[in-house]
A and B are shown apart, each in its own frame.
Chain A
Amino acid sequence: MSSLLDANERFVALADAIAARDAHPGDAITSLRETGRAAFAERGLPHTRLEEWRYTNLAPLSGLSLEPPSEDGRIDRSLLESLATPVFACGLAVFINGRPQEALGGLPAGDVSLTSLRDADPGTAGRLVDVKQHPLAALSAATTEDGIVVQIPAGVALEHPVHLVFVSSSPDAPSVSSPRVVIEAGAGSRAVVIQDHVSVAGGHAHFTNAVTEVHAGANSDLQLAVIQREDDADIHASNVAVHQERDSRFASHVITLGGRLVRNDLNVVLAGSGAECTMNGLYLGTGDRLIDNHTLVDHAVPHCTSHELYKGVLADDSRGVFRGRVVVRPDAQKTDATQQNPNLLLSDGTEIDTKPQLEIYADDVKCSHGSAIGRIDEEALFYMRARGIGQRDARALLTRGFAAEILATLPGEALAEALTADFVARMTGGTGA
């Protein structure tokens, strides 16, 4: 435990260093940092004796001597485009190591308002995530340098997605960035937001510790894609908190293709009746990577729907963790909740710990859940080989087919195609099958 205590002290010092070099008393960032620092200083990093962290040991993180993020001047538009294909021209905002780069993005976004967190009212961020419950979100708040507030005005339907690209780079030393995204979807609005995390190859490990807060107004329709495709040395934590008002429709797509250690928390509160929530996830494990998804959907009121499908593909010696909680409160009658976590294991060295968890306190509900663990279908493999397709290609094609159910639901064909290509490249590069 001593290394964890050391790490806690080091991380508090890191937060202080970040705050000291860039202080803006009284703004939204300062209040976020102060709350986060206090919570983190009290509790520190989570350890594996906690139920929520049982299968995920943060030693790879606590062992890093993290520095505040540096500016990386090597990143230009062409590097950006090669890392973050496809890059959409409308509503593009680019962050390098957690700080906005107006020269790279900042193109006219039409009806949507994109504001730096620096310019937002104090209290804009931090309303949906309880930093006392989420230690990494506390650390994220304590070390944040900036963020973005995406406001979709009431009644506006955006024609193009809002594309937020987060590039991380640690050329000189391991470093941290803690971007904050706040999405406010006005009543009756419709939008797609893509949060794409990429990293510059080479250099040292980077720890991206992102927090996203989504306020889905009444009857709004919002799709959020969180794409994690950093280098295999990088560590990624993501905490997405969603508050849905009545009749709102929210869909998340969490696609994890890269990173050495990835922990995702997705918490959705269905706070208004008639709200609908779709949670799709796809994670690809190669090498000795660990990917952990913890989701919680809270049916707080009647007549809400949630559908969750997380699919895992694990190769080599990788590990996956899935814990999906569905809570149906006593008043939440007529709830319709489904949850599925199928996993495809491509080798004997893999491990998946999956735990669906329904907590139902109402009596007139429709809920189902299940996990499955399987291997490549040998009969399908032979069928493909009998058609001249080589063993390796056939396995790749079958695995791609397994993932397609999630990739095909991504908003926009260009995004689905780019991520399918990325998925296949990483999978075939990783398995050596």
Chain B
Amino acid sequence: MGDTLLEIQNLHARAGDAQILNGIDLTIRPGEVHAIMGPNGSGKSTLAGVLSGRPGYTVTDGSVRFEEKNLLELEAEERAREGIFLAFQYPVEIPGVTNNYFLKASVNAIREHRGEESLDAIDFLSMAKEKMAIVEMPKDLMARSVNEGFSGGEKKRNEVLQMLLLEPKLAILDETDSGLDIDALRVVASGVNALRDENRSMLVITHYQRLLDYIVPDYVHVLAEGRIQRSGGKELAHELEAKGYGWLGLDEGASA
């Protein structure tokens, strides 16, 4: 755990015209799982958006390095190819494009970047089958349009399936637990845990402590008003759960 995978320094960012992030510092080393908790409007999703290259955000100060690269100079697709994966809070429905076709295109785009050979339909399918079993994904979801008509749980499982297929260096989970019942949460968490190893890092963004019972973090950070207000080990999440954000002198629904 010597090297640094992601280094965020003094990050300031706007979403549209609103200043949301007000100086974030965060260092993630290979193999670490960091959780970011915080009330609504604290800047959690903005942080995920800025890191993944989502349009609509402007970085006004600070820097983000990913391995040796200036992350902020890369397009969203380049970040994905370099090994950053964002599990969407609201996975997008894409009519007319089958899940199978989409996932294969995605895997091959990333393989091509890594200098690996493209997978043909048969090789891809056998690889996908193995990963689908991990997230208990019904086979027919592969032949359907991406996320179209999927239940909330199926959409989130599809996100984790993509993550398993793409094997990122850094996975950012943006409120992957929201809207899931306990069974779906368990499946999703076991998919995420299947990917944990000493080289892969995760940034788990959540509103609820519950997820962190299943995906146990190495570090917990509390985000509010666009800054990390407190950092600690996994016990910090339990303290927050017991005492509420008010314990840190923060409003439950602090404004953006």
Please give the residue numbers on chain A whose beta carbons come within 8 Å of chain B beta carbons, in ascending order: 377-380, 382-391, 393-394, 397-398, 400-405
Contacts and interface: CB of A to CB of B under 8 A. Distances in A.
Contact of A388 (B54, B94, B101, B113): B113
B102 A397 contact: yes
Contact of A387 (B54, B55, B75, B166): B166
21 contacts: A378-B55, A380-B93, A382-B76, A383-B88, A384-B94, A384-B102, A386-B52, A386-B77, A386-B79, A386-B80, A386-B88, A387-B109, A387-B166, A388-B77, A388-B106, A389-B77, A389-B109, A390-B109, A394-B77, A398-B97, A402-B96
Nearest to A401: B96
B53 interface: yes
A388 B52 CA distance: 11
Interface residues of B, number: 30
Nearest to A403: B96
A382 B81 contact: no
Given A379-B92, A383-B88, A389 B55 contact: no
Nearest to A399: B96
B95 A385 contact: no
The 6 lowest CB-CB distance pairs between A and B, nearest first, are A401-B96, A404-B96, A387-B106, A388-B80, A401-B97, A388-B109
A385 B94 contact: no
Residue among A379, A398, A401, A403 having the largest count of chain B Cβ atoms under 10 Å: A401
B105 A385 contact: no
Given A378-B55, A388-B113, A400-B97, 12 more contacts: A377-B92, A382-B54, A384-B94, A385-B53, A385-B77, A387-B106, A388-B110, A391-B75, A397-B97, A397-B102, A402-B96, A405-B95
B86 interface: yes
B158 to A, nearest CB: 11
Contacts of A383: 88, 91-92, 94
B78 to A, nearest CB: 9
B3 to A, nearest CB: 23
Given A385-B53, A385-B76, A386-B86, A401 B109 contact: no
A390 B77 contact: yes
Contacts of A390: 77, 109
B75 A385 contact: yes
B9 interface: no
Contacts of B94: 380, 383-384, 398, 401
A385 B80 contact: yes
Contacts of B77: 385-386, 388-391, 394
Residue among A379, A391, A400 having the largest count of chain B Cβ atoms under 10 Å: A379
Contacts of A387: 80, 102, 105-106, 109, 162, 166
B178 interface: no
Contacts of A385: 53, 75-77, 80
Interface in B99-127: 101-102, 105-106, 109-110, 113
A185 B140 CA distance: 38
B91 to A, nearest CB: 7
Contacts of B80: 385-388
A393 to B, nearest CB: 7
A386 B53 contact: yes
Nearest to B79: A386
Contacts of A402: 95-96
B145 interface: yes
A391 B77 CA distance: 8
Nearest to A389: B109
Interface in B42-60: 52-55
Contacts of B95: 401-402, 405
A398 B94 CA distance: 7
Contacts of B85: 386
Contacts of A388: 77, 80-81, 106, 109-110, 113, 166
Contacts of A386: 52-54, 76-77, 79-80, 85-86, 88
Residue among B76, B79, B88, B101 having the largest count of chain A Cβ atoms under 10 Å: B76
